[in-house]
Amino acid sequence: MIHVFLLFSLCFSDYGFLQGVTSLGINYGQVGNNLPPPDRVLDLLSSLKITKARIYDTNPQILTTFANSNIELIVTVENQMLPVVMDPQKALQWVSTHIRPYFPATKITGIAVGNEVFTDDDTSLIGYLVPAIVSIHDALVQLGLDRYIQVSTSNSLAVLEESYPPSSGSFKSEVSGAMSQFLQFLSSTGSPFWINAYPYFAYKDAPNKISLDYVLFNRNPGMVDPSTNLHYDNMLYAQVDAVVYAMFRLGYDGIEVRVSETGWPSKGDPDEIGATAENAAVYNRNLLRRQMSNEGTPLRPNMRLEVYLFALFNEDMKPGPTSERNYGLFQPDGTMAYNVSLSALATTSSTSSASISLTSYATKVKLPPRWNIKA
């Protein structure tokens, strides 16, 4: 029997390290054979005061378990389903089966139609993407759900041809046609552009050229975009603004960019430079500090940047290098993958501030109370 003991000290009236931070969510992946059941996951999210999560399917056990909770969910249409749901009738059937039975008890707020389709090895999927998105949205309209559920797709940063400096941001020419159609949909429906942005990858590929402090949100000189004179003190914000400029180059302004994934691995292969528990703790700690301040990017300082951390758990069945299985804040047994040691002070107004700490603790507060998993 494994119990998880966490101590959360918060200068509000309740426990939880993210209370009041409404712009931050977390990715709840399920590619593991030892993960806790959804009810234990809900306990954990509730204890952390996390109110937004993203899953990579429409797992009925999760959708049922999360009913009548305060967790807002983004669900996913898997890539292999795109050729199916591009048909309006099939899309209506999909929404009627995978969404309608659970809504509104389960707070489904978004549907990601595919994941990183524009950069998938199967390039045929690009032709299915926008028709599938439109069909899913039209199905929501028919069922009266479009006012509550946004439709978009998550994109890899590799969809950009240029990202540095941010003002040079542009999409790859081979996807520009489908991308324009996608942006037209987002513009007409008010849906966000979701980007999976990982400064870790840039640092890993060029550790001698890129400052570790810059990618970890530590204090550093940063960089100034020569075309805009905007100052960037971290790479994540620069990546987000590069997407904004890329959309502008295709004639679209005003579409919100949200970070659907970002994170840092706590372990990696010998050639995965920077993949350490120390760096992962610093990256997530500093990102949470920024979230507590409700920051925007230099280009959009007054638009709070919504971010979903990757990921909730280490997932032992993910293919690829060691880092792929070590992005989690938590181990599957509920213990922390590393000590975030979060201690931050953020003032969001002249009258409200929060002091936060998150540490493993063995004798005081038991959260969640029903966590009981066999290792």
User: Comparing C-alpha atoms, which of 269, 246, 244, 271 is closest to residue 258?
Assistant: 244
Q: Is 261 a catalytic residue?
A: yes
Catalytic residue among 72, 78, 116, 161: 116
What does the alpha-carbon distance between residue 23 and residue 34 come to, in Å, rounded to a whole number?
Answer: 29
Catalytic residue among 72, 161, 162, 261: 261
What does the alpha-carbon distance between residue 114 and residue 154 come to, in Å, rounded to a whole number?
Answer: 7
Q: Is residue 374 exposed (0-12), middle (13-18) or buried (19+ Cβ within 10 Å)?
A: exposed
Task: Supply φ then ψ for residue 153, to 5 degrees.
Answer: -145, 150
What does the alpha-carbon distance between residue 294 and residue 22 come to, in Å, rounded to a whole number?
Answer: 9
What does the alpha-carbon distance between residue 370 and residue 46 come to, in Å, rounded to a whole number?
Answer: 12
Neighbour count for residue 306 (Cβ, 10 Å): 18
User: Comparing C-alpha atoms, which of 267, 311, 265, 307 is closest to residue 289?
Assistant: 307
What does the alpha-carbon distance between residue 52 and residue 261 come to, in Å, rounded to a whole number?
Answer: 13
**Residue appearing with tokens 């509104």:** 104
Active site amino acids: 116, 261
